[in-house]
Structure 1
Amino acid sequence: MILIFRQGDPGSGACQAVALFGAGLVGRAVVDALRRRGGATFVELPLDWNDASRRADDLTGLTNALLARRDTASIQALDIVWAAGKAGFGAGPDELAREMESFRDILNWTVSVSSLLPGARAGFHLLSSAGGLFEGQRFVDFASPPQPLRPYGVAKLEQEGLVGRLPAGMVTQIYRPTSIYGFSGDGGRSGLINTLILNAKRHSVSRIFGGMDTVRDYVLATDIATFIAARIIRPGTQSQTYLLASGKPASVSEIVRVVSKVIGNPLYLKLDVQPSNASHITFRPSALPLGWRPTDLETGIRLVMRQLSGAFEAGARQSVPRNIAQPKGG
């Protein structure tokens, strides 16, 4: 996890603390967005995701780091960001149960550490999943009830419910992004767009688990991170839930066409006879929040292509399976 201290109000000698759990695709982008704002220091601390006892010790160490900072400069705000979780769209109950155990530990720590910082504003930011909550639904808007079809979506809905039960006075922000794409460096899961780009450069076959007509809504990780960072720096006073979609869904065939155009190489595809991830998921533009400015698809793919190409040509190791490509649920 990453602990961030940002300068508070000028001349106050105070600071804002941000505890970010999960340095994956979106988590790293949030760190980068806060770093670009300047006036912050970043400390990487250990957190054991597998052993509950060791995780408790690591959280105690995190508390001590916050209290040590409080002794030199008052902490006027504490924001906790959950962008963690290795369980993907197709994860099973056992994997998700382990993730939920970690999530509950972080929530309990949030309540505990907030009580040690009286007078400090406390906020919790949850990265949820629009795809997990609304799989198979079309034209989703504010009135659409979440109806998850997979254990992954059920877990995300449970996380949202637990966040909603945090103590009164703690402002919570829940972000529901749609299918995320972007450059994440080494490691992590890869969705349709990244896999197609990498396999095109390798002249490898991409296996498609959705149908060519499967329609999804794709959003760039850096756009999500910019939106989250803005709400960390200038938080509201009321808890809110945000749908982060483009409002311009694209089919798998359209994604293939744009990637082929951008990269300038033919794409080699293998289609599943019985695709396991072929449900359409679309969202109404009217449901998108103020201040949300998604990058258009071709511009975003060009950006990711340049980043992935740089890493590929530099010999950076990628943990992306070479022959698996599917539209991510969220």
Structure 2
Amino acid sequence: MHVFQNRHGGPVVVVFGSGGVVGSALQRQLAVAGYQATAACAILWAQPVQDISTQIDACLKRPALTQAQNKKLVVVWAAGAAGFGSSEQDTQKELAVFTAVLDQLQEHQLKLWPQTRLRFLLISSIGGLFEGITNIRPDSPISVRRPYGQLKQAQEQLIATQEGLSAGIIRLPSVYSYINVNKRMGLIQTMTRNALLRQITPIFGSPTTLRDYVWADDIGRTVVHLCGADTLSTQPYHLFSGRPASILYIHACLERCLGRSVHLSFHYEAHNALNITGHRVSYNGMWQPTDMTENITRIVDNALSQHI
């Protein structure tokens, strides 16, 4: 967890999950907008729920937050260790922590920040909520297939029931960013790294499956905008690129960028071969996804400069 303050004014921003792919991109874009981190607290997900809850409660009582009185405080939840393959036990633990954080925020707003306007932005998952669905829109009915989707649905329902909380839901499709071997890497980062190392990437799915991929820094810019926006949409924000890509298309982009062959091996698994696509909404120009080929070039250039 990191607390960010802007020397030029604006809301105080608290980011849970600041070390993840989306959280790291949000940190970069907050810096571009004039923010700097003034406090940090590590959340250890391997610990019991009560210990994690106690850690977070102590973080929320830091001076950087108690001094946010009479200002807007924005909490961005991009945290969690759960993923598509997580068990119900793992997702229930994460939901318990999430519930405890909401309770703490409500309590602290009454006792520590009574004059502070509190906003909560939840980073949610289109893939978890609409697995195997195409032509998804912000008003499409949710259809979950696994515990991870149940977790995201429960989180969204929880913030909708919080009295007096200005809340926004930001649903994301597949996210890609720069290569970081110390963090969870998605398909595009893994394919790029293996290509640079001249290794074969095993694909557990179909080469023609269509998914929508969005660049993490594009998401970061949009979340920064929502942190300072006067109002939030009552419907979830769907940050689709509107240009779904297959693995074969990503493969072709990589080969063009690198100027050499990129090797894949395919192992068909039906549950990984489902299309997940949707319609792009610009939200009055706020959401401007950048081109995949351009971003893959960025990934390669960054990896080469870092000797990854």
Mapped contact 1:17–1:75 kept (Cα < 8 A):
no
Q: Cα distance, 1:68 vs. partner?
A: 7.0
Shift of 1:201: 1.0
SS of residue paired to 1:60: helix
Q: Partner of 1:258 in structure 2?
A: 253
Q: CA deviation at 1:299?
A: 0.8
Superposition TM-score, scaled by structure 1 size = 0.86
1:129-180 residue CA offsets vs partner (Å, 9 max, x unmatched): 1111111111112342110112111111111111111122x21111011110
Give 1:107 shift: 1.2
Aligned match of 2:3: 3
- How many residue pairs match? The answer is 304
Q: 1:305 to 1:81 in 2, by over 3 A?
A: same
**Hey, what's the Cα distance between the residues in 1 that align with 2:96 and 2:303?**
34
1:67 to partner: Cα distance: 7.0
Matches for 1:26-65 after TM superposition, within 5 Å: 26-49=22-45, 50-65=47-62
Alpha-carbon spacing, 1:235–1:34, altered in 2? closer, same or farther (3 Å): farther
Q: Does the aligned pair in 2 maintain the 1:243–1:289 contact within 8 Å?
A: no
Q: Specify whether residues 40 and 75 from structure 1 end up closer, same or farther in structure 2 by C-alpha distance, changes over 3 A only.
A: farther
5+ residue gaps, structure 1, are 10-14, 316-330
Distance 1:214 1:124, change over 3 A: same
Could you say what secondary structure the match of 1:128 adopts? strand
Q: Give the C-alpha shift of residue 55 in structure 1.
A: 2.3
Q: Distance in 1 between matches of 2:232 and 2:123?
A: 19
In the TM superposition, residue 39 of structure 1 has moved relative to its aligned partner by 4.9
Aligned match for 1:205, one of 187, 200, 219 = 200
Partner amino acid for 1:164? A
Q: Does the 8 Å CA contact 1:200/1:265 hold for their aligned counterparts? A: no
Residue number in structure 1 paired with 2:123: 127
Distance 1:237 1:84, change over 3 A: closer
CA shift digits 1:268-313 (9 cap, x unpaired): 111114354110011123x4533100001111111122223333x1
Q: Does 1:20 align with 2:10?
A: no
The corresponding residue for 1:136 is 132
Structure 2 partner of 1:185: 180
Q: Residue 267 of structure 1 is aligned with which of 246, 262, 270?
A: 262
- What amino acid is the match of 2:197? R
Distance 2:109 2:7 in 1: 19
Moved more, 240-249 or 141-150: 141-150
With normalisation by structure 2, the TM-score equals: 0.91
The 5-angstrom pairing of residues 142-157 of structure 1 reads 142-157=138-153
Deviations 1:173-230 (A, max 9, x none): 1101111011163422111111111001111110101201100111000000110011
Does the 8 A contact of 2:125 with 2:152 survive in 1? yes
> Pick from 270, 283, 299: which aligns with 1:304?
299
In terms of mean alpha carbon deviation, does 206-215 or 233-242 score higher?
233-242
Distance 1:133 1:288, change over 3 A: farther
Kept in 1, the 8 Å contact 2:39–2:64? The answer is no
Check the 8 A contact 2:49/2:93 in 1, yes or no: no
Tell me if structure 2 keeps the 8 A contact 1:242–1:288: no
Return 5+ residue gaps in structure 2 as ranges.
Answer: none
Q: Does 1:110 align with 2:105?
A: yes
Identity among equivalent pairs (%): 30
